[in-house]
């Protein structure tokens, strides 16, 4: 495809630059392109029109295809139309915190090119909930939108729930679903919220607020919990029990890892932060498989971590996911990857003789067990 050739040509130039600088340059160029009349139509004809309809219904929502954008790429809801035009079935924006914050000092994102991986310690750099909502309202919602929420760095851990409740209130009206991020490794203490007692209190508070907001707005907005890949079996079991008990609407598995699997000889592997991309894949799939063994479909799973191809996506689905998300593969492979994954999944459905992706995945799960 022409755009694939273009991305192959541009990638070496972009990869000469610091990772965050090239990210910014790419999106500045995209924003400039979107000022041209008909830009969205052109982009859709290049990408989105090639992503087949492959609807998936979970959390009371219908997603046009199961390939979503993972949180962290569009933290401030600035590129919603452009990203939707890549053909994503949904976008997860954020992480957004109550107040704006600059994040960690740069450099804070590193490419491990030989491993198709990234290490980042961005630290929830974002414009804060107020500006985020202005941005999102100005862009509209071209596809289902998840909003990923977090706490400010300077909010003490014992007040963390207040931050989540504040942002939940702020974003409720514009979100199709809300993702509660308690798994980023770059905010001190955040992942401790995954411990049973802390999690119980947080989930309870979120559900109470959700019920009040649903009444107030006349609309139920589902809430998903985003978890880390670095959890032991007991922790996964406890999370599975709690999300069922508190009727959470989904689990997103997983965030980046603080481990460095297979990266012993990689000079950048000592950089502090979360690792994403290819080396994360087996870890994330393992967590999804364990979670699914507990949940058995009673709470849906959004699978994320190291997905680069339709085969990777299929593996996550058969392991227990209902939808999938990508981030790092978009950086390494360019926007064509979205349609490629969606088309590959549609082919699987066709080959299986099933009428829907969910049915084809169920069939494959049965054959495996």
Could you give the residue numbers annotated as active site?
Answer: 184
CB 108 within 8 A of CB 20: yes
Q: Which is nearer to ligand FMN, 116 or 358 (CB)?
A: 116
CB of 341 to ligand FMN, least distance (A): 11
Instruction: Determine, following the binding rule CB under 6 A, whether residue 323 of this chain makes contact with ligand FMN.
Output: no
CB of 149 to ligand FMN, least distance (A): 9
Among 59, 122, 263, 337, binds ligand FMN (CB under 6 A): 122
Q: Which is nearer to ligand FMN, 64 or 279 (CB)?
A: 279
Helix, strand, coil percent content, the chain, rounded in steps of 5: 50, 15, 35
Instruction: Determine, following the binding rule CB under 6 A, whether residue 334 of this chain makes contact with ligand FMN.
Output: no
Instruction: Report the distance separating Cα 118 and Cα 85, nearest Å.
Output: 24
Among 76, 95, 187, 210, binds ligand FMN (CB under 6 A): 95
What is the CA angle 115-287-98, rounded to 5?
85
Instruction: Determine, following the binding rule CB under 6 A, whether residue 187 of this chain makes contact with ligand FMN.
Output: no
**Continuous H helices in 47-194:** 80-85, 128-139, 160-171
CB 37 within 8 A of CB 44: no
Q: Taking contact as CB under 6 A, which single stretch among the options 119-127, 235-243, 293-301, 356-364 is the one that binds ligand FMN?
A: 119-127
Q: Shortest CA distance to 287 belongs to which of 261, 255, 326?
A: 255
Instruction: Report the distance separating Cα 159 and Cα 181, nearest Å.
Output: 15
CB of 156 to ligand FMN, least distance (A): 21
CB of 118 to ligand FMN, least distance (A): 4
Burial of residue 20, with CB atoms counted within 10 A of its CB: 0-12 exposed, 13-18 middle, 19 or more buried: middle
Tokens describing residue 236:
């996964």
Among 246, 328, 335, 340, binds ligand FMN (CB under 6 A): 328
CB of 38 to ligand FMN, least distance (A): 31
**Helix H or strand E segment including 334:** none
Contacting ligand FMN within 140-169 (CB under 6 A):
148
Q: Taking contact as CB under 6 A, which single stretch among the options 114-122, 192-200, 209-217, 243-251 is the one that binds ligand FMN?
A: 114-122
Burial of residue 369, with CB atoms counted within 10 A of its CB: 0-12 exposed, 13-18 middle, 19 or more buried: exposed
Binding residues for ligand FMN, how many (CB under 6 A)? Answer: 27
Instruction: Report the distance separating Cα 102 and Cα 54, nearest Å.
Output: 38
Among 59, 67, 182, 326, binds ligand FMN (CB under 6 A): 326
Q: Shortest CA distance to 100 belongs to which of 167, 24, 177, 27?
A: 167
Q: Which residues pair with 126 in a beta bridge?
A: 101
CB of 121 to ligand FMN, least distance (A): 9
DSSP string, 224-239: EEEE-S---HHHHHHH
Contacting ligand FMN within 224-253 (CB under 6 A):
226
Instruction: Report the distance separating Cα 96 and Cα 164, nearest Å.
Output: 10
Among 139, 184, 194, 269, binds ligand FMN (CB under 6 A): 184
CB 248 within 8 A of CB 208: no
Q: Taking contact as CB under 6 A, which single stretch among the options 2-10, 167-175, 198-206, 298-306 is the one that binds ligand FMN?
A: 298-306
Bond preceding residue 148 cis, omega within 30 of 0: no
Among 80, 307, 341, 357, binds ligand FMN (CB under 6 A): 307
Instruction: Determine, following the binding rule CB under 6 A, whether residue 305 of this chain makes contact with ligand FMN.
Output: yes
Q: Which is nearer to ligand FMN, 120 or 235 (CB)?
A: 120
Contacting ligand FMN within 256-285 (CB under 6 A):
256, 276-277, 280
Tokens describing residue 30:
């995209």
CB of 304 to ligand FMN, least distance (A): 5
Q: Which residues of the shown chain bind ligand FMN in the complex (CB under 6 A)?
A: 70-72, 75, 95, 109, 118, 120, 122, 124, 148, 181, 184, 226, 255-256, 276-277, 280, 304-307, 326-329
């Amino acid at each position: 495809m022409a755009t694939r050739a273009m991305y192959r040509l541009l990638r070496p130039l972009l990869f000469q630059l610091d990772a965050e600088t090239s990210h910014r340059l790419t999106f500045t160029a995209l924003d400039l392109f979107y000022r041209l009349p008909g830009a969205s139509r052109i982009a859709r004809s290049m990408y989105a029109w090639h992503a087949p309809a492959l609807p998936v219904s979970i959390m009371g929502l219908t997603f046009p295809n199961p390939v979503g954008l993972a949180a962290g790429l569009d933290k401030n809801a600035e590129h919603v139309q452009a990203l939707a035009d890549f053909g994503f079935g949904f976008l997860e924006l954020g992480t957004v915190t109550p107040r704006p914050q600059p994040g960690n000092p740069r450099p804070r994102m590193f490419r491990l090119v030989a491993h198709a991986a990234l290490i980042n310690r961005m630290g929830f750099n974002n414009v804060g909930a107020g500006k985020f909502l202005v941005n999102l309202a100005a862009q509209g919602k071209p596809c289902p939108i998840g909003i990923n929420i977090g706490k400010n760095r300077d909010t003490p851990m014992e007040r963390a729930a207040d931050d989540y409740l504040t942002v939940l209130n702020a974003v409720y009206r514009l979100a199709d679903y809300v993702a509660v991020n308690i798994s980023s490794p770059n905010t001190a203490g955040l992942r401790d919220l995954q411990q049973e007692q802390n999690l119980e209190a947080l989930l309870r508070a979120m559900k109470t607020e959700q019920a009040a907001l649903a009444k107030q707005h006349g609309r139920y907005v589902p809430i998903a919990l985003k978890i880390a890949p670095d959890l032991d079996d007991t922790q996964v079991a406890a999370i599975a029990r709690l999300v069922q008990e508190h009727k959470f609407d989904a689990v997103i598995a997983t965030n980046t890892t603080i481990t460095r699997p297979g990266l012993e000889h990689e000079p950048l592997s000592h950089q502090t932060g979360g690792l994403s991309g290819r080396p994360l894949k087996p870890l994330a799939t393992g967590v999804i498989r364990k979670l699914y063994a507990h949940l058995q479909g009673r709470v849906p799973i959004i699978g994320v971590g190291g997905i680069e191809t339709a085969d990777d996506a299929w593996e996550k689905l058969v392991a227990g996911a209902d939808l999938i998300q990508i981030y790092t593969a978009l950086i390494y492979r360019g926007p064509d990857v979205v349609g490629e994954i969606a088309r590959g999944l549609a082919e699987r459905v066709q080959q299986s003789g099933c009428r829907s992706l969910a049915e084809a995945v169920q069939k494959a799960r049965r054959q495996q067990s």
